[in-house]
Structure 1
Amino acid sequence: MTTAGIDVRHYDHRQAAELRPLLLEVYSEVYADAAKTDPFATVERFAQGLDGWSSRPGWTCVVGYDADQAVGYAYGAPLPKRAPWWGGLLTKVPADVVKENGRRTYALSELMVRVPWRKTGVARRLHDALLEDRPEERATLLVDQEHPKVHSLYESWGWRTLGDLRPRIPDAPLFHAMLLDLARN
């Protein structure tokens, strides 16, 4: 399988309610095993997070389709002023690094691909489609520290690790907070 036949469609907060069942369906499939033992991975917890993210101004989502089958998606939103995103940062960094003005940083909240389309380039294609033409100067994301291969993959795409972060969400794992320069030449 390749990404050649994958159609990437763009959405925003206006289509969030319509997209919600599809996003939950893909999540429940991708995280089925993890949700059995990890309270942070339950569909209910994810649904709460999805509802919070998709109601934010500037929320965008891309969904990849193989014919009419959704193969994966990515979504996120700009961090607002005084964003709680950095509240769980455990690594000491200069204050200006985590100061948000509502236009500085785009947070890539989720990126997932169904099993049959993994290792085909779909994840990178969704990643790039979500971040292309973003007006922010940088993007951020969190990678579970239990997934070093995912961390390495993001590094290969140009992301750099800022430090350790544990979100202030019950049962949240320890993450690597990562940054990507979005500056356009």
Structure 2
Amino acid sequence: MTDIQLRHHTTHHTPGLRTLLLDIYADVYAEPARTDPFCAVDRFAEGLDNWTTRPGWTCTIGYDNDQPVGYAYGAPLPPGTVWWRGLLTDVPTDMVTETGTRTYALSELMVRTPWRRTGTARRLHDAHLAPRPERRATLLVDQNHPKVHALYATWGWKTLGDLRPRLPDAPLFHAMLLELPPRRP
């Protein structure tokens, strides 16, 4: 396995990270962005700008020497969040009523091609979620990517239901949940 160094960041670091995060995204999603407007770099940039201003936003970037290989980022879901509004599966209301401290949304986890199948995604995932104080995490997996969905399931994620975000050209996603271990003091 490649020796990947992990660096953790918060909203204080975002001005210096924006270009790097967009460059990695453009590399990882180069092919889908050619035909799928939802994967366009400009659309992603808008979402990135929204996420990086959220209270509690954190990002973990992996490096192979000085080469950025991928990242994970997200933020806690605030009360009244729009995250669950596109949920198409009936679930108990208490499953989607957020307090601001219960659920961390893992918005992005991506790894550049040369570092895939090396354990890098799992390292980013685990290192990013390890310090989280929330009880659980959530993420969305495009239903056109069953291998990604299956991978998350092997990491302990459970499917809550189907969700289509209220965004132009949004695909149908699996909304998934992961119970996080209690943080040790």
TM range, smaller chain: over 0.9
Distance (whole Å) between structure 2 residues aligned to residue 17 and residue 53 of structure 1: 13
Among 72, 95, 98, the alignment partner of 1:97 is 95
Deviation of 1:164 (Å): 0.1
The equivalent of 2:157 in structure 1 is 159
Name structure 1 gaps, 5 residues minimum.
Answer: none
The equivalent of 1:45 in structure 2 is 43
Distance (whole Å) between structure 1 residues aligned to residue 181 and residue 34 of structure 2: 40
Deviation of 1:184 (Å): 2.1
The equivalent of 1:125 in structure 2 is 123
Name structure 2 gaps, 5 residues minimum.
Answer: none
Deviation of 1:137 (Å): 0.3
Asked whether the 8 Å contact 2:103–2:137 carries over to 1, the reply is yes
> In the TM superposition, what are the counterparts of 1:28-177 in structure 2 within 5 Å?
28-177=26-175
Distance (whole Å) between structure 1 residues aligned to residue 66 and residue 20 of structure 2: 12
- Normalising by structure 1, report the TM-score: 0.98
Distance (whole Å) between structure 2 residues aligned to residue 141 and residue 30 of structure 1: 18
Aligned-residue identity in percent: 68
- Normalising by structure 2, report the TM-score: 0.98
Q: CA RMSD in A?
A: 0.8
Deviation of 1:17 (Å): 1.2
Deviation of 1:183 (Å): 3.1
Query: Structure 1, residues 108-135: CA drift from partner, whole Å, max 9, x if none?
Result: 0000000000000000000001100211
Give 3-state SS (helix, strand or coil) of 2:84's partner: helix
Superposition misfits of 4+ residues, deviation over 3 angstroms: none
Asked whether the 8 Å contact 2:133–2:182 carries over to 1, the reply is no
2:24 corresponds to which letter in structure 1? V
Deviation of 1:89 (Å): 0.1
